[in-house]
Amino acid sequence: MQRVVISGTGLYTPSESISNDELVVAFNAYVQRFNEANADAIAQGTVSPLAESSSEFIQKASGIKSRYVMNKSGVIDPNRMFPHIPERADDELGIQAEIAVLSAREALAQAGKTPADVGAIIVACSNMQRAYPAVAIEVQQALGCGGFAYDMNVACSSATFGLQNAVDAIRSGSARCVLVISPEITSAHLEFRDRDCHFIFGDVATTMVVEAAETCTVDGAYEVLGTRLVTQFSNAIRNNFGFLNRCDESGVGTRDKLFRQEGRKVFKEVCPMVAEQIVAHSTSLNLNVNDLKRLWLHQANLSMNELIAKRVLGREFSRDDAPVILDEYANTSSAGSIIAFHKYRRDLAAGDVGVICSFGAGYSIGSVVVRRC
């Protein structure tokens, strides 16, 4: 079987960030206005009052301290509570393609590659800004790459699912070098007026350069030893936004057209599935869990990562074992595990083995076992 490596990664981080304190000030101002405007109905019991949030609540619930966003002013405006991202003309580079290109250029430079070396681009993320043409094809043109390009969506697991597709494309001979790009503008599908989730997401873009080992020219690449994907249907994480919404006017703009989840149910059901998959996947490759030097996990919730790492490794959680970036970046959907890999892979020695693992809506889980070359 042809050996395949991840030879470079890139990260685009927006310039604007929102702290928990800033988010809470805006949210609580909205809550106060809502409760005042609905005081009579609340007194009559026909409307439920909204509860305020706090930085302590957010950090205890998630481990998140801040998040990067494409637009800060719209999010923290109590009269708006969502980002302001102007539409662009069709002949302008779209905003999602723009951040994808920025992360891709860093990854290509790190891998010692040029756009001419790229034979395929996979844009894998939880939401695309339009139905068609594919954002990936727009990125392909902006970078000046040949070959083919397509979009794919498996929610928070998109990057690892895209990585398996890249590996398969190389082994089948469809391409020699593939970019897997995750441009996540998650602030646009978050309800910032919902106390249970208003703090969860942040914006970012990541890229992985995936290529045949024989064409890799840089030190510190990671060989892909194996990939494993699994899906199991669940409504516990859901977003009903789509092109059919306009066909039923009664549902336009309703709460279900943005991200929503049953957090406790997700925690209870997903954590055991993820831990079991990592252990089983490692065992199938004749690896013992003691051989795993690092887990680059999906960055959704600190308690989830602590529990998964403890179950897999059989010891107390350590940020060296499973690096954490969600405190700074929040949940960046499919990009989270790749940010962790991007920032915390260079200190491992040649021969060290780790697992990139994502999990989320679907349910979906993707695990990729890698070894430093």
List residues with catalytic annotation: 156
Q: Between 158-172 and 336-343, two packed helices, what is the crossing angle to 10 degrees?
A: 70
**Three-state SS at 143:** helix
Q: In residues, how long is the chain?
A: 373
- What is the amino acid identity at position 285? L
Contact criterion met (CB below 8 Å) for 37 and 141: no
Sign of CA dihedral 70, 73, 78, 83: negative
**Three-state SS at 342:** helix
Q: Find the distance separating the first CA and the last CA of the chain, reported in whole Å.
A: 17
Hunting for tokens 């995750």 — which residue is that?
A: 182
Contact criterion met (CB below 8 Å) for 70 and 16: yes
Copy the structure tokens of residue 240. 């009903």
